Amino acid sequence: MDIINLIQQKYGASCQLRSPLNKRQYNKAKTFLPRELLEILKVSNGINEIMTNPDTMKIEVIDRIIYSLDEIKSQTNCYSNEYGSDGVVFAGNGAGGFFILKPNGKIYIYEYFDLCEEYYADSLSDYFNKF
């Protein structure tokens, strides 16, 4: 998948793929996820950003590059209930805000200090090229 390859190129060894969606999860996800995001989760149910803890030398997850299906559902439900807007929340910005994939395929960021959505990218590919 092109987007997963792009993420791996950008993050290198700091990128960790997860197990793919199982059949039950996939069937549930295809009822509400846009195709492009569904294809990513079909390969990796979320993508972690990782680092080696210098004290323990163990790999630790420090953030999510793309949320898992459960995180997407939870964050999207919060977003929809709170703001009444359409879109799928698929990632955070590391500062409490989040990125939304809108039905038209464009990406918006919601920043809490502005309390509004702002255009960010034309597509998921464009988003990962900018990020």
pLDDT surpassing 60 at residue 90: yes
Q: Is 15 helix (H, G, I), strand (E, B) or coil?
A: strand
Domain ranges of the chain: 2-130
* CATH number assigned to the domain covering 2-130: 3.40.1580.10
pLDDT surpassing 90 at residue 15: yes
21-45 tens-digit pLDDT: 999 999 999 999 999 999 999 999 9
- The pLDDT assigned to 93 comes to 87
The answer to whether the predicted template modeling score (pTM) of the entire model surpasses 0.85 is yes
Q: For 123, how many CA atoms within 13 A lie in the half-sphere containing its CB? A: 6
**pLDDT band for position 98 (cuts 50, 70, 90):** very high
Which position has the token pair 């918006």? Answer: 108
Query: Higher model confidence: residue 24 or residue 128?
Result: 24
Contacts of 71 (CB under 8 A, 6+ apart): 46, 64
**pLDDT band for position 83 (cuts 50, 70, 90):** confident
